[in-house]
Amino acid sequence: MEKLMKSTNYPRTRESLQIDLQNLGLEPGARVLVHSSLSSMGWINGGEVAIIQALMDTVTDTGTIVMPSQSVILSNPAEWENPPVPRDWWKVIRDTMPAYDPIYTPTTGMGSVVEVFRSFPGVIRSSHPSYSFVAWGKDKEKIIANQSLNFSLGEQSPLAKLYDSDAHILFLGTTYETCTAFHLAEYRVGYKKVMTKGAPLNLNGKRVWKEYQELEFREELFEKLGQDFEAEYPVNIGIVGSAASRLIPLKVAVYFAEKWLNKHDQMLLY
């Protein structure tokens, strides 16, 4: 807390954050996919709650706020690497892992803003046990509904619906490495290494371990991809709180990512 306060020139508030968001180009009625880093934003009176309220004030109830709410800890322990668990634990972990519940299953590594947002009044969450999304606002049901268990970030996902609705991506102190929308481009290019994953679900009132198909994601490419995107397309860049922030059109970013990933993969063939 002391370090945050020393790095902040003036008290950030719900109202000042709204002004920052408006200056960045976020407008009433916008549909926006938000990635955030609370620690990057300096000291804020109200913390996560003030950030969420400022976002809601800015887009209003005519807009829609969406955030990734992944819970990837609900996964096959055979895949765990940080840290790994002994092989003779795997079956016990799979058999006793609590089933995904959109209300109380916490997010994994998504940041505290998402964790607070998912419990806000009017926020709903999608059904995927590992790669869910949370949403608030006018189009929340349309965007969140019917996410596919298999290939969860592809054509039957909230990402595809955001693409079709001309949404924007908002980075609050985060980098392109966090750009979930780039995964949609991964489904639309030639490279498709498919993996079998698993997670516990509640089906008809009974806990079951359910396997599903997913791509091998390549987040390690996203930062360079994003830098090249900025070199070709205009990006709204500004400060929200103390955080370097960006607002970009999701459809344009995914379109560029498709071209970039195809070119990247072709170069690897030679």
Read off the pLDDT of residues 178-205 as tens digits, 9 standing for 90 and up: 999 999 999 999 888 999 999 999 998 8
pLDDT (average), residues 118-141: 97
3-state helix/strand/coil string of the chain:
CHHHHHCCCCCECHHHHHHHHHHHCCCCCCEEEEEECHHHHCCECCHHHHHHHHHHHHHCCCCEEEEECCCCCCCCHHHCCCCCCCHHHHHHHHHHCCCCCCCCCCCCCCCHHHHHHCCCCCCEECCCCCCCEEEEECCHHHHHCCCCCCCCCCCCCHHHHHHHCCCEEEEECCCHHHCCHHHHHHHCCCCCCEEEEEEEEEECCEEEEEEEEEECCCHHHHHHHHHHHHHHCCCEEEEECCEEEEEEEHHHHHHHHHHHHHHHHHHHCC
The predicted pLDDT at position 270 comes to: 43
The predicted pLDDT at position 5 comes to: 52
What are the domain boundaries of the chain? 2-268
Predicted structure pTM score: 0.94
Read off the pLDDT of residues 21-55 as tens digits, 9 standing for 90 and up: 999 999 999 999 999 999 999 999 999 999 999 99
